[in-house]
Structure 1
């Protein structure tokens, strides 16, 4: 019991650090200040952080800043110099090198040629060979996790809370993989009111661990789009899936919310290799 309580306490401390990082990506982040937020020794705390999260503090900061930059490049029109500065780079060349190291293309080329551009086509004849879409029958699936209210791009905060909870309380043996439910349509819902649930799909017959909310995805026919690439491209993937693909397929969407299943994870997978399934219920 003491060991479990100790892990929970440390996870809660590091969760405060990650929340502070997410809320202050635009500003300078100081290791000593983060140590104070964690209430841990300034000399040793970063070793604790790496031991419990699997990455260094600066790897977390870089990953989150470049994730946001990729989303802005894929979905917006802000100047690259402005995106670089927001990402903590006063030198655009240094930003370009860091971005290319993780995403395989320079920021300029990523905006013009990145994987998100695949979804700009409206022609099914051109697109059908470019995407992995399948239709399958689902049994009911329970998703258990932590609720999140706010932009989908910020759902990582809820995943952090979920991971901390699971590390302290157990229950990973019930998991059939990481997943999220997207209850709101971001095109018609104010960003501050968007609702989602971040956690895991349960194995058949398992009950949700204590302390988590759950939602049961009903049985039925589902279209499943497998997206390969950064999470910042998912907004365009949704537009294509629920627009061009749905119209050309002759199908209609059901009333169940969209579900994302994550086949690998960003802390140990390059952004270009991330695999995400979007599950759409068919009517």
Structure 2
């Protein structure tokens, strides 16, 4: 498995939150975010799109899983927009830090299996320790509507600790 280690900076985002099974609710969160964004009279520039599930489906029941669809923008743009967000949306800062990153090519449905491989194959053979205090991130690098889903690129980011336990 091809993994690179990188320090990511914190990111200010507007998010759409949905609760329930990831396969269903992630899509809904993204649809809500895009509908809101493209409904703005003068949408500000986006820097990146980031998604993450906050809960482990191995521990948390499916109907309680939380998924965040996020759009990174300049802080000024976020401040201008934050007071007029729908109830399921908000503003937050995704913490930065050191991450193990695998660039996945292909459909988004493949993400769970690649995150699992990072945990079960790569992690035991590395000298790294996951940092479960920060979210595992999906950073979307291109638009599948433009390149086709088979060419969609997504950085799958596992937060890692600087020190060993």
Q: Same fold (TM over 0.5)?
A: yes
Is the CA contact (8 Å cut-off) linking 2:144 and 2:151 kept in structure 1? no
1:140 aligns with 2:10: yes
Alpha-carbon distance in structure 2 between the residues aligned to 1:134 and 1:261: 14
Is 1:275 aligned to residue 137 of structure 2?
no
Matched, 1:226 2:126: no
**1:219 shift after superposition:** 2.8
1:194 aligns with 2:72: no
Q: CA deviation at 1:206?
A: 5.4
1:187-235 C-alpha deviation (Å, 9 max, x unpaired): 2221111101113123477535321313322232111111001111111
CA distance in 1, matches of 2:119, 2:38: 36
- Of 154, 157, 161 in structure 1, the residue corresponding to residue 28 of structure 2 is 157
Aligned counterparts of 1:222 and 1:197: Cα–Cα separation in 2: 19
How many residues align? The count is: 152
| Structure 2 unmatched ranges of 5 or more | none
Closer, same or farther in 2 for the Cα pair 1:172/1:279, shift >3 Å?
A: farther
Give the number of the structure whose residues are more often strand, by fraction. 2
Alignment partner, residue 245 of structure 1: 122
Q: What pairs up with 1:1-283 in 2 under 5 angstroms?
A: 127=1, 131=2, 133-154=3-24, 155-169=26-40, 170-173=42-45, 175-203=46-74, 207=78, 209-210=81-82, 211=85, 212-254=89-131, 255-283=133-161
**Correspondence for 1:109:** none
Q: Deviations over 1:162-190 (max 9, x none)?
A: 111111224431x2111112201122221
Distance in 1 between the 2:9 and 2:37 partners?
25
| TM-score of the two chains, using structure 1 as the length reference | 0.50
Unpaired segments of 5 or more residues in structure 1?
1-126
User: Equivalents in 1 of 2:139, 2:17: separation in Å?
Assistant: 16
Higher helix share: 1
Higher relative contact order (CA 8 A, sep 6+): 2
TM (normalized to structure 2)?
Answer: 0.82
Equivalent pair of 1:151/1:191 in contact (CA under 8 Å): yes
CA contact (8 A) 1:141 1:204 kept: no
